[in-house]
Structure 1
Amino acid sequence: MTAFTPLQSALGGALIGLAAVWLMAALGRIAGMTGMLSGALFEPGRGWRLAFLLGAMAAPALMLALGARVPFDSPVPQPWLVIGGLLAGIGASHAGGCTSGHGVCGNARLSPRSLVATASFMLAAFATVFTIRHVIGGF
């Protein structure tokens, strides 16, 4: 079970929102992590993408180095997490964006496509959790 951390969650959400607004205001770009990763790997002008992704990875590492406790422990074996991440990446490319791009930025712009995509992500997540916990009886 995941720990209930409303203060940390609200702070993290506010920082994600601030980063998304800053990126849109400064560069006119959407803060979709999957699009940023593919752009950093395959497109020219990747400096800002690499900086954003590095910051997203460095912040939790810095928090751990400063002694913060990360309230996350997954009962799922790491190979399944990797497979799930790859499947999510494939799905994001077919959906025209990832949960951060659609869920944070697209919904904030009231994009109908993002509203439908986010509803689809959430319904799929609900169905997956229900099936794994109550039908299969795993994790």
Structure 2
Amino acid sequence: MVIETAFTPISAIVGGALIGLSAVLLMWSVGRIAGISGIVAGAMLEHGDERNWRLIFLGGLFLGALLAALSSGALESVSSVASTPMLVLAGLLVGVGTRMGGGCTSGHGVCGISRFSMRSVVATLVFMTSGAATVFVIRHLLGEGV
């Protein structure tokens, strides 16, 4: 089974612009960087106003994705190519990796690089290299998702 992905430049540009806009609005409104792993961790640990803005931001992420998927009909064609244990393992590894890297691709890749942070440039290079290596191992060595 070969997995094909359609290249959709318009939706990619719109999505990227919305991600950038949300990062700018978050920095402007509450003075925080839009690093999703940090926002999620804080939503679980913080209280009061600090927790409220995090929950609102995360709710907006889910609502925006849901509205985009429903309006495009994308949910009808969604199927997982990986086993449930592999998905759970992947989620846990991403969580561990974001803690080890001091942030995630949104915090480092979107916000950090735009602030010319060398730490974020290095972290993003490590994320991307690790992602490419993981896809190679999963697809070509383990035969999952092929």
**Contact 2:82/2:144, CA 8 A, preserved across alignment:** no
Moved more, 92-101 or 126-135: 126-135
Deviation at 1:90, TM superposition (A): 1.3
Cα deviation code 1:35-62 (max 9, x no counterpart):
0011011012211100000000011222
Partner of 2:85: 79
Cα deviation code 1:11-37 (max 9, x no counterpart):
111100100011112221010111001
Map 1:1-139 to 2 at 5 A. Answer: 1=3, 2-44=5-47, 45-65=50-70, 67-70=71-74, 72-139=78-145
Alignment length, in residue pairs? 138
Pair 114,72 (structure 1): closer, same or farther in 2 beyond 3 Å: farther
- What TM-score do you get using the length of structure 1 for normalisation? 0.90
Structure 1 segments, 4+ long, off by >4 Å, are none
Pair 134,105 (structure 1): closer, same or farther in 2 beyond 3 Å: same
Give the gaps of 5 or more residues in structure 2: none
Moved more, 86-95 or 46-55: 86-95
RMSD across aligned positions (CA) = 1.7
Alpha-carbon distance between aligned partners in 1 of 2:13 and 2:87, rounded to the nearest angstrom: 25
- What TM-score do you get using the length of structure 2 for normalisation? 0.86
Alpha-carbon distance between aligned partners in 2 of 1:85 and 1:79, rounded to the nearest angstrom: 10
